[in-house]
């Protein structure tokens, strides 16, 4: 046999393609050629394969080897092709029976001593292999736990090239080492911050509950120390738990960044991601020079993206949030191709009222000029704020508010949120929307969902007087429906509309 073939997977973002790895041995000058669009890391594979083969007693120094990765049109990324290339070569050398490996997907980097090292992106790669109908996948031992999350595929954890070749040659059912069957943990007693810790701040708590119930984006304006971050961190504790499919989506993103077995959990808590304002645009939306890495907005997929001190973020980074907010995904363009990542997140932004932070209420101690104050909040672009239905002020904590009784726990609030979500799911059944925040304003102003003029009289008047823009009007309507859903009412009342109006009127637009 001078020909060998096996399979692997290449990833572009989270999307994978099954790749056929073929090796030919032929006469002629010794060489090791690799074709089929390998990237820089993949192009180094022949060196590692030669060293690993030599370490287990098979010198390739006198061989002329041609390896082809097909389909040739798709870029092959990363060092995970070491293992399938080594197995294809071993088959061509007659060390492994071809029928043993033709359908097995191999993933893994080789150490110079033949050890098999973990690689990134094993979970999305195995998901892709399973969808393509593959039944067996050989992965590095350290990646076995994430691979096992994928149903309907047999995972063979492998530690060393020599062991794997021996197992293939012997025709054993279970390849490689018998790593313990560690199922991913389904529940973890991880302590998440609880809303009961938040004292006072009734209005901000209401806004947070509405945000969770209707999926509305949220803006918190207030002085330092008022608890904006504390509130934002607690949003995930009142959001519905993720489904198993959503949890796998979240873990697949982590896998691209090199998830460790300790971080694996399908407990279903939505992710909370809070990039620092000095973060680069690539860190926020994704990017990178060689392999494109997902950014904070993709890590926040199915969860919350929190931007604290939002006026301090780079304008370009804020600008780049608009497309993902609209489409739920982000396209990261590179020189040769563009990579797409999922990015359906709930946005929470927080800002101080002015550069010094004291320009609140009477503004005692604030030294900022009116111009500096206006310019500060003006850095947040209007089109971005237009997508934020809830814009509230979080006042400084006073001694009297500290004396107040402790607030409700997250568990209590989460129950109401769940009921409100159920009401929305029933109402929007048969439409493209599931949450009030997703419904276009025109649908709430006209036709079936239009409210009676007696309910909307206050905002109608504000609109007529020019105190409210049409976009502002639509934001109020969306929130009013969520107020009604949380209150268990079938349609919003005039009071519900009033509550919604109060909770959108306090942001930078009004300030
Ligand atoms: Zn100030």
Tell me the per-residue pLDDT of 444-484, one tens digit each, with 9 for 90 and over: 998 889 999 999 999 999 899 988 889 889 999 999 999 99
Query: How many angstroms separate the alpha carbon of residue 195 from the centre of ligand 1?
Result: 29
What pLDDT is stored for residue 181 in this prediction? Answer: 54
> What's residue 258's pLDDT?
85
Chain mean pLDDT for the chain: 90
CA of 120 relative to ligand 1 center, distance in Å = 46
What is the CA(359)–ligand 1 centre distance, in A?
4
Residue 399: is its pLDDT beyond 80?
Answer: no
Question: Residue 402: its pLDDT value, please?
Answer: 64
Distance in Å, CA 70 to ligand 1 centroid:
61
Q: What is the sign of the dihedral through the CA atoms of 443, 449, 453 and 456?
A: negative
Average pLDDT, integer, range 100-121: 95
- What are the E-state strand segments in 382-427? 390-393
- Above 50 in pLDDT, residue 52? yes
* C-alpha distances in Å from residue 96, one per residue of 2, 23, 89, 109, 246: 12, 13, 9, 19, 39
Closest by alpha carbon to 153, among 135, 139, 133?
A: 135
Longest dimension (CA), the chain: 89
129 vs 182 pLDDT, higher one: 129
What is the reported pLDDT for 510?
46
In b/e form, how buried is each residue of 301-326, taking b as 16+ CB within 10 angstroms?
A: bbbbbbbbbbbebeeebbebbeebbe
Q: Classify residue 464 as exposed, middle or buried by CB count within 10 Å of its CB (0-12, 13-18, 19+).
A: exposed
**Distance between terminal CA atoms of the chain?**
77
Quote the CA–CA distance of 207 and 500 in Å, as a whole number.
9
How many CA atoms lie within 13 Å of 317's alpha carbon, on the beta-carbon side?
A: 22
Length of the chain: 511
| Predicted confidence (pLDDT) at residue 361 exceeds the cutoff of 90 | no
Q: Which of 288, 381, 273 is nearest to 78 (CA)?
A: 288
Q: Which residues contact 399 (CB under 8 A, 6 or more apart)?
A: none
CB atoms within 10 A of CB 358: 19
Instruction: Supply the DSSP symbol for 160.
Output: B
Tell me how far the alpha carbon of residue 373 lies from the centroid of ligand 1, in angstroms. 7
Cα(383) to ligand 1 centroid in Å equals 25
Give the tens place of pLDDT for each residue, 193-235.
899 988 888 899 999 999 999 999 999 999 888 899 999 999 9
**pLDDT given for residue 191 in this prediction:** 61
Residue 511 has pLDDT above 50, yes or no: no
CA of 366 to the centre of ligand 1 (A): 4
Class of residue 437 by CB neighbours under 10 A (exposed 0-12, middle 13-18, buried 19+): buried
Q: What pLDDT does residue 464 have?
A: 93
Percentage of the chain modeled with pLDDT above 90: 69
Distance 351 CA to ligand 1 centre (A): 12
The predicted structure's pLDDT at residue 199:
82
Given a cut of 90, whether residue 379 has pLDDT beyond it is no
3-state secondary structure of 272: strand
**Quick check: 403 pLDDT over 70?**
no
Report d(CA 387, CA 381) in Å as an integer: 11
Alpha carbon distance 502, 57 (integer Å): 76
Domains of the chain: 3-170 (3.30.230.10), 195-502 (3.40.50.300)
> If pLDDT is split at 50, 70 and 90, which confidence band does 15 have?
very high
| Distance between Cα 376 and ligand 1 center (Å) | 10
Using alpha carbons only, what angle is made at residue 350 by residues 348 and 353, rounded to the nearest 5 degrees? 155
Over residues 504-509, mean pLDDT: 68
Which residues are within 8 A (CB) of 383 and not within 5 positions of it... i.e. 6 or more apart? 322
Which of these, 167, 165, 122, lies nearest to 143 by C-alpha position? 122
In the predicted model, what is the mean pLDDT of residues 128-145?
Answer: 95
Which pLDDT tens digit goes with each residue over 66-87?
A: 999 999 999 998 899 999 999 9
**Helix, coil or strand: residue 116:** strand
Residue 252 has pLDDT above 90, yes or no: yes
Instruction: Say whether 129 sits in a helix, a strand or coil.
Output: helix
How far, in Å, from the CA of 390 to the mean position of ligand 1? Answer: 24
Residue 313: which region, alpha, beta or left (left: phi > 0; alpha: psi -120 to 50)?
beta
- Average pLDDT for 12-16: 91
With bands split at pLDDT 50, 70 and 90, how would you rate the model's confidence at 350?
very high
Is residue 504 pLDDT above 90, yes or no?
Answer: no
Helix (H) or strand (E) holding 313: none
Q: What is the pLDDT of residue 17?
A: 95
Q: How far is the CA of 358 from the centre of ligand 1 (A)?
A: 5
Per residue in 409-434, pLDDT (tens digit) is 999 999 999 999 999 999 999 999 99
Distance, in Å, from the CA atom of 36 to the CA atom of 21, rounded to the nearest integer, reads 10
Is residue 441 within 8 A of residue 474, CB to CB? The reply is yes
Q: Please give the residue that has the higher pLDDT: either 30 or 176.
A: 30
pLDDT class of 380 with cuts at 50, 70, 90: confident
Tell me the CA–centroid distance for residue 307 and ligand 1, in Å.
20
Q: What are 168-192's pLDDT values in tens digits?
A: 998 877 665 555 555 455 444 456 7
3-state secondary structure of 397: coil
């Amino acid at each position: 046999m001078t020909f060998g073939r096996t399979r692997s997977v290449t990833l572009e973002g989270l999307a994978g393609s099954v790749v056929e790895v073929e090796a030919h041995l032929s006469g002629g000058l010794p060489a090791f050629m690799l074709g089929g669009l390998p990237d820089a890391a993949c192009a180094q594979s022949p060196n590692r394969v030669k060293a690993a083969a030599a370490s287990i007693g098979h010198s390739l120094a006198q061989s002329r080897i041609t390896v082809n990765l097909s389909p040739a049109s798709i870029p092959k990324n990363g060092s995970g092709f070491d293992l399938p290339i080594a197995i294809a070569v071993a088959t061509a050398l007659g060390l492994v029976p071809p029928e043993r490996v033709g359908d097995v997907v191999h993933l893994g980097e080789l150490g110079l001593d033949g050890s098999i090292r973990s690689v990134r992106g094993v979970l999305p790669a195995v998901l892709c292999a399973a969808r393509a109908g593959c039944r067996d996948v050989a992965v590095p031992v350290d990646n076995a736990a994430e691979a096992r999350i994928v149903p309907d595929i047999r995972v063979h954890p492998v530690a060393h090239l020599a062991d794997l070749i021996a197992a293939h040659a012997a025709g054993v059912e279970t390849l490689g080492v018998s790593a313990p069957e560690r199922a991913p943990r389904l529940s973890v007693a991880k302590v998440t911050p609880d809303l009961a810790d938040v004292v006072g701040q009734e209005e901000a708590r209401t806004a947070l509950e509405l945000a969770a119930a209707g999926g509305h984006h949220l803006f918190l304006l207030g002085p330092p120390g008022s608890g904006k971050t504390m509130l934002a961190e607690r949003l995930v504790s009142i959001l519905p738990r993720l489904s198993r499919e959503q949890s796998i989506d979240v873990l697949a993103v982590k896998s691209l960044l090199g998830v460790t077995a300790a971080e694996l959990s399908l407990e279903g808590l939505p992710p909370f991601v809070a990039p620092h304002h000095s973060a680069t645009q690539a860190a926020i939306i994704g990017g990178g020079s060689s392999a494109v890495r997902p950014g904070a907005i993709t890590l926040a997929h199915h969860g919350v993206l929190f931007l604290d001190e939002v006026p301090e973020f780079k304008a370009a980074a804020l600008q780049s949030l608009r497309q993902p907010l609209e489409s739920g995904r982000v396209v990261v363009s590179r020189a040769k191709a563009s990579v797409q990542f999922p990015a359906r997140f709930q946005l929470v932004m927080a800002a101080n009222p002015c550069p010094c932070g004291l320009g609140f209420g009477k503004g005692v101690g604030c030294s900022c000029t009116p111009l500096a104050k206006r310019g500060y909040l003006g850095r947040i672009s209007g089109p971005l704020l237009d997508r934020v239905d809830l814009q509230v002020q979080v006042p400084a904590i006073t001694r009297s508010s500290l004396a107040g009784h402790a607030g409700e726990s997250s568990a209590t609030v989460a129950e109401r949120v769940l009921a409100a979500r159920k009401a929305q799911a029933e109402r929007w059944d048969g439409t493209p929307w599931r949450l009030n925040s997703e419904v276009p304003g025109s649908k709430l102003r006209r036709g079936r969902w239009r409210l009676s003029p007696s309910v909307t009289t206050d905002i109608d008047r504000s609109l007529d007087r020019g105190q409210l823009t049409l976009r502002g009007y639509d934001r109020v309507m969306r929130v009013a429906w969520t107020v009604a859903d949380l209150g268990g009412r079938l349609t919003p009342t005039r009071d519900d509309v009033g509550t919604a109006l109060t909770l959108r009127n306090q942001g930078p637009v009004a300030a």
